[in-house]
C-alpha cells in the first residue's frame, strides 16, 4: 500500500523544499527522496553546473544579480524536466517573486523547513563559511526576518530546530501521503 502511494506521489509534481540557510533543505531532501524512491535535485548544484563554477565564485566574480539570473534559469530547467521529484532550493530562490510564479505554474508542493535563527547560525558556522551571504550576523538576521513571511506562503511547514533529518523527512512524507488521500 505504502509503495503504491509513494509511486503515485513521486515525480507527479515536484516537491520543493524552501527555508533559510541551515534549515536542512539538502539533507532532508536526500532523505525524503530516498523515502519516496525518487530523484533528489539540489538547485545550487544545477546553478554551479550552468555557471561552471562554485556558488561562492559566482557571487565573487559575477555578483548576486547574476547569481539570481542563473538561479531562475536553473529553476526553469528543473521544473520543466520530467522526474524532478524532490528539489532543495537555495535560501533566496523562493523569495524572488518571478520564481514563486514559476513554482505556482508547476503546481509543485512547497514545503517550508523552519529553523530558529540561533540554530541556523550554528549550522551555517559548522558548514565552514562557504556561503557568500553569511558574511555577518547582522546581514543574516536581516535576511532571516525579511524572508520569514515569504517562506510562510508554503503549502506545509515544519520546524526542524530540535529534530533529526529522518524525523523531518518522515513528517513531510506523512503530509504528502495525507494530501494524496484527501
Ligand atoms: C542563498 C542561499 C544558498 C545559496 C546562495 C544564496 C540565499 O543556499 O543559494 O548562497 O540567498 O539564502 P542554501 O540555502 O542552500 O545555503
Q: What pLDDT, on a 0 to 100 scale, did the predictor assign at position 4?
A: 46
Q: What is the pLDDT of residue 19?
A: 98
Nearest alpha carbon, ligand 1 atom 9? 90
Task: Specify the pLDDT at position 126.
Answer: 77
Verify whether ligand 1 is closer than 6 Å to residue 68 (CB atom): no
Q: How far apart are CA 151 and CA 149, in angstroms?
A: 6
Residue 131 CB–ligand 1 contact under 6 Å: yes
From 20, 21, 121, 136, the mutation candidate for ligand 1 (largest count of ligand atoms within 8 A of CB) is: 21
pLDDT given for residue 8 in this prediction: 52
Angle between helices 43-51 and 64-80 (to 10 degrees): 110
Q: What is the pLDDT along the chain (182 residues), one digit of tens a residue?
A: 444 444 455 557 899 999 999 999 999 999 999 999 999 999 999 999 999 999 999 999 999 999 999 999 999 999 998 788 999 999 999 999 999 999 999 989 999 999 999 999 999 987 766 788 988 899 999 999 999 999 999 999 999 999 999 999 999 999 999 987 43
Angstrom CA distances, 6 to 36, 39, 94, 169, 176, stand at 5, 12, 26, 13, 9
Check residue 86 and give its pLDDT: 96
Amino acid at each position: 500500500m505504502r509503495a503504491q502511494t509513494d509511486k503515485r506521489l513521486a515525480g507527479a509534481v515536484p516537491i520543493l523544499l524552501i527555508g533559510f540557510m541551515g534549515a536542512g533543505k539538502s539533507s532532508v531532501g536526500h532523505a525524503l527522496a530516498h523515502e519516496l524512491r525518487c530523484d533528489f535535485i539540489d538547485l545550487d548544484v544545477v546553478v554551479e553546473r550552468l555557471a561552471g563554477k562554485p556558488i561562492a565564485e559566482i557571487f565573487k566574480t559575477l555578483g548576486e544579480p547574476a547569481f539570481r539570473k542563473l538561479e531562475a534559469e536553473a529553476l526553469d530547467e528543473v521544473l520543466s524536466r520530467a522526474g524532478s521529484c524532490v528539489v532543495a532550493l537555495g535560501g533566496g530562490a523562493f523569495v524572488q517573486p518571478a520564481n514563486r510564479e514559476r513554482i505556482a505554474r508547476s503546481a509543485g508542493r512547497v514545503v517550508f523547513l523552519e529553523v530558529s535563527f540561533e540554530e541556523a547560525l550554528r549550522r551555517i558556522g559548522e558548514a565552514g563559511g562557504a556561503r557568500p551571504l553569511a558574511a555577518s550576523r547582522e546581514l543574516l538576521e536581516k535576511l532571516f526576518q525579511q524572508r520569514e513571511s515569504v517562506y510562510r506562503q508554503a503549502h506545509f511547514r515544519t520546524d526542524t530546530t530540535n529534530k533529526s533529518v529522518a524525523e523531518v523527512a518522515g513528517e513531510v512524507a506523512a503530509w504528502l501521503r495525507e494530501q494524496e488521500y484527501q
